[in-house]
Structure 1
Amino acid sequence: MATSFSHEDPKIGVLDQLVGYHLRRASTVFASDFAQAVAGTGMRQVLFGILSIIKANPAINQGNVGRALGIQRANMVSLVNELVDKGMVHRETSSEDRRAFALTLTAQGEELVALCLANIREHEEHLLADLSASERETLIGLLMRIEAKEA
């Protein structure tokens, strides 16, 4: 007699042993949750990343923001233009390098980062509720070690 196949709970075979598979699935869950957390704000992950880097480094060079986030120069220009047009970021010629732009958050940008961060933290708390504080730190540390391989 043949083994029956259940369409409701199929085995995933070798995928169960592949870290990349599980990272991708977890990333999808977090990306969807991020979208829900910031719904209605006009924010996307890449924009939130840029705003967060600028908040932590007022007057940072636009190129340094792109390098920190792995964003190519051409893409960075259009993303910063979008944030400037939305009134979230102020861009001025850098006093250190007249060929570069220094970026700072506007008051509106500061408010948006604070709002989004509060919502994101609430959603992450829900997603990570089954992990202890120590497990969360370990998870972040392990992910950072993998990320460091890119450099």
Structure 2
Amino acid sequence: MTGHNTRPPKGDDFGILSRDLPFMARTLQSLLRPEGHAIRQALDLEAGVIGVLSVIWLNPGISQNDLATSVVLKKSAVTAVVKHLEERGLVARERSQQDRRQNALTLTADGHTLIAKIREHTEALNDRLFENVSAAERETFFAVMDKVVQNLLTGSDR
């Protein structure tokens, strides 16, 4: 097909679509995919691992079911990722004190070391992506994103 543009247009070429959240979210996801790939490649990680490790880091003792909900993955996918991370010595699984049918997940010392490396990469990426954005605008952006996520979560009950 001649004349096909494989590069996304500049933000000012989106017109009304620049105010369409699903369109902009897909565009952001597409543009961020190579950035995530570069971080995973630098740290020798598979897809999905960064989110899983990060949620466990922030929520020590989280169950696999709650983890799956948090990272928006199927329970079977999370089970496979957790098993792989456990085999690599990054995550520990033990029976939950509250519910013996569930596993409580925590990071091992190696898991904490890896999270520190992940945070270095992701913080540098965030700083670069928000280079021309004031601190106040950045805070507003994330506050609005959080509200949108909460609206989607509560709206899923409808």
CA contact (8 A) 1:61 1:100 kept: yes
Of 24, 45, 50 in structure 1, the residue corresponding to residue 26 of structure 2 is 24
- Once the two structures are superposed, the pairs formed by residues 102-113 of structure 1 within 5 Å of their partners are 102-113=104-115
C-alpha RMSD over aligned residues: 2.6
1:136 is aligned, of 130, 135, 138, to 138
- Provide, for residues 10-63 of structure 1, a one-character-per-residue CA deviation record: whole Å limited to 9, x for no partner: 866664553322222122222322222342313356211111111122222221
TM-score, normalisation: structure 2: 0.79
Structure number with greater Rg is 1
Which one has more relative contact order, counting CA pairs under 8 Å at least 6 apart? 1
Unpaired runs of at least 5, structure 1:
none
Judge conservation of contact 2:93–2:105 (CA < 8 Å) in 1.
Answer: yes
Counterpart-to-counterpart distance in 1, 2:134 and 2:15:
29
Residue 118 and residue 22 in structure 1: after superposition, are their counterparts in 2 closer, same or farther (change >3 A)?
same
| Contact 2:40 2:47 (C-alpha < 8 Å) held by counterparts | no
Identity of aligned residues (%): 26
Aligned to 1:93: 95
Q: C-alpha separation between the residues in 1 aligned to 2:61 and 2:15?
A: 50
One-letter identity of the residue aligned with 2:100: R
Residues 97, 130 of structure 1: alpha-carbon distance in 2 compared, 3 angstrom cutoff: same
Superposed, 1:1-150 pairs within 5 Å as: 15-16=17-18, 18-44=20-46, 46-150=48-152
User: In structure 2, what residue type is equivalent to 1:99?
Assistant: R
Amino acid at match of 1:81: K
Question: Quick one: structure 1 residues 67 and 29, their matched pair in 2 at CA, closer, same or farther if it must change by over 3 Å?
Answer: same
- Structure 2: gaps (5+ residues): 154-158
Supply the AA of the counterpart residue of 2:65. G
Q: TM-score, normalized by length of structure 1? A: 0.82
Q: What's the offset of the Cα at 1:72?
A: 2.2
- Residue 99 of structure 1 aligns to a residue whose secondary structure is coil
Q: Distance in 2 between matches of 1:118 and 1:133?
A: 19
1-structure distance, mates of 2:43, 2:8 = 37
